[in-house]
Amino acid sequence: MIHHCTIGQALPTGAVIREIAAEKDLPAGFDAELAGKTVTIRRKLAPEEMIMGLGQAVGGVNRRGQRLRAWNSDDFSHTENKECLYGSHNFVLFINGAESVGLFLDDPGEIFYDLGFTHPDEAVITACNGGLDVYVLRGGTPAEVCRELRRLTGASYLPPFWGLGYIQSRWGYASERDVTEIVENHRSRGIPIDCVSLDIDYMDHYRDFTWDRRHFPDLKGFAAAQKADGIRLVPIIDAGIPVDENDTAYVSGREQDVYCKKADGSDFTAAVWPGRCVFPDFLRPETRSWFASQYRTLLDAGIEGFWNDMNEPAFFYSDEGIAAAYAVADELRGQNLPLEAHDRLKGAFTSLNNSREDYRRFCHTYRGGKVNHERVHNLYGWGLTAATAQALREDAPGERRLLFSRSTIIGAHRDGGMWMGDNSSWWSHVLLNLKMLPSLNMCGFLFCGADLGGFSCDTSPELLLRWLQLGAFTPLMRNHSAHHTRLQEIWRFDNWEAMRGAVRVRYALMPWLYAQLMRAGLTDSLLFRPLCFDYPEDGEARQVEDQMLLGEGAMIAPVYEANARARHIYLPEDMLLIRFRDADDLDTLPLKKGWHRVRLEANEFPLLLRKNTLLPLAGPAERSRDIDQRHFRVLGWCDRAVETPFYQDDGLTAAPTLAEGNALLTADPAERTGRLVTREGEWATDVSRVIWE
């Protein structure tokens, strides 16, 4: 039952690219037991042991004490008690002093994690699918174990440079006019922007691969005009295809027989936005190719990026489910409804969404055999992402394109990034955003970010501002909100200039952030790490979960509380505090290792930089393509001549390599200018702001 170091035989979550050292059993400290179809893995936890990984979940970076579950779920209320969200990332990292061990459970069914929830000193993992592929990863340091996971399951998706630009989004943008208005309001105020994402409202009656011809009479011409202005449109694609004889995608898919089936062989249907839908059986490569081919019209219209939604898959109800609910309503109609009867009536309807029964009603075809959906549920989102990635690859084999998805599993990190789903405009979700970053990175998802400002509920000017200040550092920087909530575009708020400052800082940092992301991706490293990864001996650093190390040599420490005008920041070594207000408005202060209370007015946010590390800032730009990547103003605190590794490429070509992008920033106290050294040449940098000690 414990397969070591073999190819992901069961299902295609992990394409193994190289074998790792073979083992016969689970290593010491673990026990495994098989009873019927249930596999239980137990581990006694040492007093100081930490448990990390598990990607997308509420709670801390150290997950000890939590109870979690791998079951991809469409749940728009990310409260503390939630055991699962949209993605299942079955990589658990146990860190016990100098010893760290990772388990990767390559299984697409439900898995339960009791990580010291029932008994504080015991972790229990239970998988119910019968066979379970467990990969034991023991590389040494936590970062090395995470690298092993990437070597096993594949390298992370990397976006084009423009994918790091600011994206404005909202459920509700429905026309060329809406998009034009949004872009104009950013441009006229000098708020940088690169993309507008289009939610389901752009579609014709919520049908995938269509658009509303009244509101987008000439999508191709419009997309081209926007692109000329440096704006890309990024439309949403959902999983369900409407059962509609007039729908081209539906008819072609039926002809090719690509939809998931019920036991009687008929197509399974459930309702989503357009009403009754069928669901492509993405486990079949033929289906993925068919789905990929459906993107043709949108690609021909000039679309270069997509976001994938509802791919858990999410259902509103099935015919069977709603019939049963109506039956309860009929039975109870006209009756007095005491508590139990009222609960039954209400429950009959409120339990329709994403019901377990519906997931059991249909099958996939996998390698010629039938598999009930229940057993492979967590793979569905991957399939949609893989199909979209295929479409983008076939359309532009030589280019990187933008893709992020809602429902994911380890393996999907090769094909696209992800956003964190339907958060809320709550202060606690700023912190959740921060804490989820390293956990997702550990599982291979580097290109990620949350809905800045919050998706549901009304945001406030201060909340959006503080969230943008965090988003300035996340690879995906997207402001997104739900319909019927307060309008959330930057320019609508009194403090829009402070918000613009955060976006401008992002654009000034973009070449550097891109370099950090690419270097992390190309070396199978983490972009965001908890402090204990780099400072394992530092007892204080172990405790800190509201600051994250970023790339090579930097650390973020966002403000995530209302009305806060200062925060405590722990420096695990001497660092330079950079307090940003705007791209050209900042101050710096060398600080010693230890705790500091740092003043941060509402319009200020910090970046901490290790001593003898150089940070390049680009000049102001309102589009990613306008960023001058040759002339930088460099910040740093140095006590000697330094060389900081950097990375630059054309931001677009597929299959980038570290060697091609390798670059260097240098500064020397004896010279008045520093240098940017790339394979293409050398450029002088302005090092007048470097502090020499």
Residues that bind ligand MIG (CB under 6 A): 171, 199-200, 236, 309, 406, 421-422, 480, 482
Q: How far apart are CA 309 and CA 384, in angstroms?
A: 9
C-beta nearest to ligand MIG: residue: 171
By beta-carbon proximity to ligand MIG, the closer residue of 379 and 418 is 418
Q: How far apart are CA 414 and CA 150, in angstroms?
A: 9
Q: How far apart are CA 498 and CA 481, in angstroms?
A: 20
Q: How far apart are CA 583 and CA 507, in angstroms?
A: 8
In the complex, the smallest distance separating the C-beta of residue 382 from ligand MIG, rounded to whole angstroms, is 17
Cβ neighbourhood burial of 616 (10 Å; 0-12, 13-18, 19+): buried
In the complex, the smallest distance separating the C-beta of residue 169 from ligand MIG, rounded to whole angstroms, is 8
By beta-carbon proximity to ligand MIG, the closer residue of 270 and 577 is 270
By beta-carbon proximity to ligand MIG, the closer residue of 49 and 309 is 309
In the complex, the smallest distance separating the C-beta of residue 238 from ligand MIG, rounded to whole angstroms, is 7
Which ranges of 443-590 would DSSP assign to H, the alpha helix? 461-471, 496-522, 531-534, 539-543
In the complex, the smallest distance separating the C-beta of residue 80 from ligand MIG, rounded to whole angstroms, is 20
Q: Report the SS3 class of residue 652.
A: coil
In the complex, the smallest distance separating the C-beta of residue 359 from ligand MIG, rounded to whole angstroms, is 17
In the complex, the smallest distance separating the C-beta of residue 151 from ligand MIG, rounded to whole angstroms, is 32
By beta-carbon proximity to ligand MIG, the closer residue of 308 and 666 is 308
Residue type present at position 74: D
In the complex, the smallest distance separating the C-beta of residue 687 from ligand MIG, rounded to whole angstroms, is 43
452 is written with which tokens? 């800045």
By beta-carbon proximity to ligand MIG, the closer residue of 295 and 514 is 295
Residues ≥6 apart with Cβ < 8 Å to 81: none
In sequence order, what are the beta bridge partners of 410?
none
By beta-carbon proximity to ligand MIG, the closer residue of 78 and 633 is 78
By beta-carbon proximity to ligand MIG, the closer residue of 349 and 366 is 349
In the complex, the smallest distance separating the C-beta of residue 236 from ligand MIG, rounded to whole angstroms, is 6
Q: How far apart are CA 247 and CA 57, in angstroms?
A: 37
By beta-carbon proximity to ligand MIG, the closer residue of 421 and 530 is 421
| Residue 524 zone, left/alpha/beta (φ > 0; ψ -120 to 50; rest) | left
Distance of CA 507 to the CA centre of its chain: 20
In the complex, the smallest distance separating the C-beta of residue 171 from ligand MIG, rounded to whole angstroms, is 4
By beta-carbon proximity to ligand MIG, the closer residue of 145 and 430 is 430
The sheet carrying 91-96 orders its strands as 50-53, 91-96, 99-106, 133-137
Q: Break the chain down into helix, strand, coil percent, rounded to 5.
A: 30, 30, 45
By beta-carbon proximity to ligand MIG, the closer residue of 406 and 633 is 406
- Terminal Cα-to-Cα distance of the chain (whole angstroms): 59
By beta-carbon proximity to ligand MIG, the closer residue of 85 and 577 is 85
In this structure, is the dihedral angle defined by the CA atoms of residues 451, 454, 458 and 459, taken in order, positive or negative? Answer: negative
47 is written with which tokens? 């007093």
By beta-carbon proximity to ligand MIG, the closer residue of 199 and 649 is 199
Q: How far apart are CA 345 and CA 366, in angstroms?
A: 38
Q: By the 8 A CB rule, do 173 and 198 touch?
A: yes
Q: How far apart are CA 291 and CA 382, in angstroms?
A: 13
Count Cα neighbours of 615 within 13 Å in the Cβ-side half-sphere: 28
Omega prior to 217 cis, within 30 of 0: no
In the complex, the smallest distance separating the C-beta of residue 523 from ligand MIG, rounded to whole angstroms, is 31
Q: How far apart are CA 591 and CA 607, in angstroms?
A: 12
In the complex, the smallest distance separating the C-beta of residue 628 from ligand MIG, rounded to whole angstroms, is 34
Closest CA to 224 of 306, 301, 166, 164: 301
By beta-carbon proximity to ligand MIG, the closer residue of 236 and 376 is 236
By beta-carbon proximity to ligand MIG, the closer residue of 304 and 309 is 309
The length of the chain is: 693
Cβ neighbourhood burial of 350 (10 Å; 0-12, 13-18, 19+): exposed
Task: Measure Cα distances from 56 to 30, 156, 241, 362, 433 in Å.
Answer: 24, 16, 27, 26, 10
By beta-carbon proximity to ligand MIG, the closer residue of 429 and 480 is 480
In the complex, the smallest distance separating the C-beta of residue 480 from ligand MIG, rounded to whole angstroms, is 6
In the complex, the smallest distance separating the C-beta of residue 421 from ligand MIG, rounded to whole angstroms, is 5
In the complex, the smallest distance separating the C-beta of residue 483 from ligand MIG, rounded to whole angstroms, is 8
In the complex, the smallest distance separating the C-beta of residue 432 from ligand MIG, rounded to whole angstroms, is 15
By beta-carbon proximity to ligand MIG, the closer residue of 404 and 496 is 404
Which ranges of 91-175 would DSSP assign to H, the alpha helix? 142-153
Which ranges of 1-99 would DSSP assign to H, the alpha helix? none
* DSSP for residue 624: G
Closest CA to 71 of 319, 376, 291, 309: 376
Place of tokens 């200039």: 497
Q: How far apart are CA 540 and CA 112, in angstroms?
A: 31
* DSSP for residue 201: G
In the chain, count of helices (H) and strands (E)?
17, 41
Q: Report the SS3 class of residue 344.
A: helix
By beta-carbon proximity to ligand MIG, the closer residue of 73 and 226 is 73
In the complex, the smallest distance separating the C-beta of residue 241 from ligand MIG, rounded to whole angstroms, is 16
Helical packing angle, 219-228 and 176-187, nearest 10°: 10
In the complex, the smallest distance separating the C-beta of residue 194 from ligand MIG, rounded to whole angstroms, is 19
